[in-house]
Structure 1
């Protein structure tokens, strides 16, 4: 369809979505951006946040991404995310359980332990994911 944007979102675990859509809004590292069919080509990095897929002006899907890249070409938009979760499949309770478990791991490590940095980044990601569930 010439009036639709081909959109694909892929994480290391799986292809989260691939299909024709009206509009995609994504959390670029320099700010949120939108892509419609026939958008000028560009590439950018993504920050943690929500990718919104719109049809007829209504949000049809929300996907939380943990960083990555967005590539807009004449073929459409491809997002390569470090991690991606469909928000409809995530509950605040399950995220809170992950937050609690991660916090316990952080607290059990020495302040100088190198694993602490990765766990802190994961904790921050989970906090962002939890916030996205409320909005």
Structure 2
């Protein structure tokens, strides 16, 4: 069961960043695709599944953020990613601001992947 949930988690993470990248591009370009109903709903479905898989893995492995520094770093980075992403997609006043925040959000996502792969708060450098 662990392997299935882990692969689902990784697949949903890939789907999440792919859709984020498309939405960020549309936001910067002020494209009408960003206003489609499925574009407003699907990210929430994917991210809910991603979070559910993450929590399930955490419980299955009995790793807790207060005892596992890499997991705590990943969760803090997740909050930063969400904040940056909202500016990139919705709250940025200009295309330049939205683009800059999208790039920052993608960098934080890459950091989270490094933390997950290396199991170290220093991410790819650890």
TM-score range, shorter chain: 0.3 to 0.5
Q: Flag the structure with higher strand content.
A: 1
Higher RCO (CA-CA < 8 Å; seq separation 6+): 2
Larger Rg: 1
Q: Flag the structure with higher helix content.
A: 2
Relative to the length of structure 2, the TM-score reads 0.33
